[in-house]
């Protein structure tokens, strides 16, 4: 092999490395990651028993949100809810939903929603975005759609930072698919199968070091 050839090989290797680095930099666009402001955020749920709307909420949850409206392909959402943090208007009711028949928090302390399939539906819709995801609850995984809007946090007076967004959305899940409400509680003529979950997250764009 001549020196010329060696040089040629070197060039190819070099260009590969360079090109490789370039492509790497191209695909790894700066992802917009968002941090949850827990104290400003809410997850509430409403079920119906005998036609009576009955609500509750969770106070302890965490998220990993990578979201860029212009790059939905790389967007990703993970919400993990500590079911023990459930609250309802009645203490008795709170205790009941924690039992084996409902959330069974001893065995399944968390509910998790995960999606990397987020689509834009258009701003004429009630909800501009939809996240097709999987919810894990009570040891069962099931597909679910989370409908949401990204709003400016202007309606929240106490917050005025510019890099904040308000994620407002809802999902409707059928409790029977996850075995929430066992035995007599399985009777959906008393306690409705559908439970509406309302989400209000205030998120702040993470400052990634350049």
Partner 1 sequence: MKLLNSKTHFGIIAILFHWITLAFLLVLYPIGYVMTDMAISPDKLELYSWHKSIGFILLILVILRLSWRIISSPPPLPNSNPLLYRAIALTIHLLLYVCLIVLPISGWLMSSAAGFKVVVFRTFELPDLIHTSDVLRIILQEIHFIIGIVMLSLISAHIFAFLYHQFYKRDNIINRILPFFRNPSR
Compute the chain's Rg from CA coordinates.
Answer: 23
Residue of 6, 187, 194, 206 that binds partner 1 (CB under 8 A): 187
Q: Is 176 in the site for partner 1 (CB under 8 A)?
A: no
Nearer to partner 1, 105 or 144 (CB): 105
Nearer to partner 1, 93 or 134 (CB): 93
For 65-126, the DSSP string reads EE--TT-GGG-EEEEEEEGGGEE-SSHHHHHHHHSTTTT-TTT--EEEEEEEEEEE--TTSS
Q: Nearest approach, Cβ of 190 to partner 1 (angstroms)?
A: 4
Neighbours of 181 (CB within 10 A): 22
Q: Nearest approach, Cβ of 41 to partner 1 (angstroms)?
A: 22
Q: Is 191 in the site for partner 1 (CB under 8 A)?
A: yes
Q: Which of residues 49-108 bind partner 1 (CB under 8 A)?
A: 49-55, 89-90, 92-93, 96
Nearer to partner 1, 30 or 89 (CB): 89
Contacts (Cβ under 8 Å, ≥6 apart) of 173: 135, 142, 144, 194, 195, 197
Binding mask 123-162 for partner 1 (x = CB under 8 A): ----------------------------------------
For 41-63, the DSSP string reads -EEEEEEEETTEEEEEEE--EEE
Which residues of this protein are in contact with partner 1, per CB under 8 A? 49-55, 89-90, 92-93, 96, 184-185, 187, 190-191
């Amino acid at each position: 092999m001549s020196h010329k050839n060696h040089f040629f090989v070197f060039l190819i290797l070099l260009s590969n490395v360079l090109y490789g680095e370039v492509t790497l930099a191209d695909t790894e666009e700066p992802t917009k990651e968002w941090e949850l402001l827990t104290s400003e955020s809410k997850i509430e749920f409403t079920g119906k028993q005998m036609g009576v709307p009955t609500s509750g909420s969770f106070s302890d949850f965490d998220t990993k949100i990578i979201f860029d409206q212009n790059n939905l392909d790389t967007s990703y959402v993970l919400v993990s809810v500590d079911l023990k943090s459930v609250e309802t208007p009645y203490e008795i009711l709170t205790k009941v939903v924690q039992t084996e028949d409902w959330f069974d928090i001893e065995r399944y302390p968390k509910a998790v929603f995960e999606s990397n399939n987020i689509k834009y539906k258009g701003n004429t819709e009630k909800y501009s975005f939809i996240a097709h995801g999987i919810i894990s609850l009570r040891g069962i995984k099931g597909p679910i759609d989370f409908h949401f809007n990204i709003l400016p946090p202007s309606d929240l007076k106490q917050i005025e930072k510019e890099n904040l967004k308000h994620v407002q959305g809802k999902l409707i899940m059928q409790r029977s698919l996850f075995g929430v409400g066992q035995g007599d509680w399985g009777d959906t003529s008393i306690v409705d199968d559908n439970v509406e979950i309302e989400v209000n997250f205030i998120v702040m764009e993470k400052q990634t070091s350049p």
